[in-house]
Amino acid sequence: MSSHSHYHRLKNKWIDRHRNVKNIIWEKHQDALNWAINSFPAKQLVAGSLGGMLLLSAPSITMLPKSPLLLTKEQHAQDLDTDTKLMLDLKGKIPSDVRPLSLDEEESIAEILTKDFGFRVTSSVHGKKLNRSYGLIGYEQHLVLFPGDTIYSHFENDGEFQKFSSAGMAPGLSAWRYFAFSKHALTQKDILREKYYIAVQTFLAPGFDEHVAEFRNFFKYRKMLVINPENGKAIVCDIADAGPSPWTGKHLGGSPEVMSYLHRVDGAGVGPVLYFFIDDPEDVVSLGPATIR
């Protein structure tokens, strides 16, 4: 038998063991574990060994202050395997401090991500790149989809309203104004572009000042893969706004839905993400949560 078969045989057995013990602990001590999830700040949980257990095994994540996406136990079990694999693949490739990556680091990480996700991930497209590809992500508000869009017309269903309306609407329009000219003209693609948007510092991109119009067109709805390296959560986003201002100390912003999925928060708990372009000229990569192959 090949060594690869050894690995898969053992891995599958241990994944089963892991699932079983997770199910057991949740069945036996559900009340206490749910109490812990709802009682302790997310940052406190993430840092400790209790968090390691709860974050990797909870049937639903409810401790994040900003409207978490609810996941089933089965989804979590599956996520553990894929998210863990991604974390391990990236281990040792990401600096301990949040700083711009070197070209070598970017290339190395892009190569891993391309291999893991099955689509081309890169720090630059057609020679254009952002000011950085690893930085602190802040919390953005919902963007106005069409003229007259408010927090009450913004969501597709009550569930989303309940989860995400507390973030509120951004006071102005996005860098590219409306996603659609009217509610009637709004497409599913427009909705997803707003739901999974990020704001990046387009204005700090090398060459932006010399080619403003060209760069604005380039960045508009450009797809990016955003990854929380601390939990392996990855999501395909699009650039739909410019920001944040450099003085904030943050390097990009995520929609409430993006932040919830990544388990990232703003304020004192602000944390880093990787953000790399997806080279998708045929527009075949879907926006939203992404898992490795």
For 135, the enclosing helix (H) or strand (E) is strand 134-139
* Least gap, CB of 6 to other proteins (angstroms): 5
* Least gap, CB of 230 to other proteins (angstroms): 14
* Least gap, CB of 270 to other proteins (angstroms): 21
- Closer residue to other proteins, CB minimum distance, 4 or 293: 4
- Closer residue to other proteins, CB minimum distance, 38 or 157: 38
* Least gap, CB of 20 to other proteins (angstroms): 9
For 120, the enclosing helix (H) or strand (E) is none
Q: Tell me if 287 sits within 8 A of 223, measured CB to CB.
A: yes
Q: Tell me if 251 sits within 8 A of 132, measured CB to CB.
A: yes
Per DSSP, 207 falls in state: T
* Least gap, CB of 28 to other proteins (angstroms): 7
Could you tell me the two tokens for 221?
Answer: 């709805």
- Closer residue to other proteins, CB minimum distance, 24 or 103: 24
Residues of the shown chain interacting with other proteins in the complex, contacts defined by CB under 8 A: 1, 3-4, 6-7, 9-11, 13-15, 17-18, 21-22, 24-25, 28-29, 31-33, 35-36, 39-40, 44-45, 47-53, 56-57, 84-85, 88-89, 91
Burial of 174 (0-12, 13-18, 19+ CB in 10 A): buried
- Closer residue to other proteins, CB minimum distance, 48 or 148: 48
- Closer residue to other proteins, CB minimum distance, 48 or 172: 48
Q: b or e along 96-118 (b: 16 or more beta carbons within 10 Å of the residue's beta carbon)?
A: eeeeebeeebbebbbebbbebbe
